[in-house]
């Protein structure tokens, strides 16, 4: 199974690290160490995806829809 690879960016700041995913707006966090920022970023991505799913479900509530799996080809 191929994996979709996204780009995590970690920026050193006086308080530790700020982190975000370039391809996923809203997936950002911080941590006092690089490892903590990495850990927090995984949680942030999960929360953004969960929130987007909830918003989409609200938007289509009561509509006839077709749901199917979508695989994004990777290089």
Q: Could you tell me the residue ranges of all domains in the chain?
A: 8-56
Q: How far is CA 41 from the centre of its chain?
A: 8
Question: Who has greater pLDDT, 62 or 3?
Answer: 62
Query: Mean pLDDT across the chain, nearest whole number?
Result: 94
pTM: predicted TM-score of the whole model, two decimal places: 0.83
Contact call for residues 19 and 9 (beta carbons, < 8 A): yes
Q: Name the least confident of 29-33, 53-57, 69-73.
A: 69-73
Query: What are the φ/ψ torsions at residue 16 (nearest 5 degrees)?
Result: 145, -110
Q: Is the pLDDT of residue 1 over 70?
A: no
Contact call for residues 54 and 69 (beta carbons, < 8 A): no
């Amino acid at each position: 199974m191929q994996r979709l690879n996204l780009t995590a960016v970690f920026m050193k700041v006086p308080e530790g690290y700020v982190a975000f995913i370039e391809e996923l707006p809203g997936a950002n966090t911080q941590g006092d160490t690089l490892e903590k920022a990495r850990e927090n970023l995984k949680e942030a991505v999960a929360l953004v995806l969960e929130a987007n799913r909830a918003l989409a479900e609200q938007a289509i509530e009561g509509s006839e829809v077709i749901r199917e799996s979508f695989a994004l080809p990777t290089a």
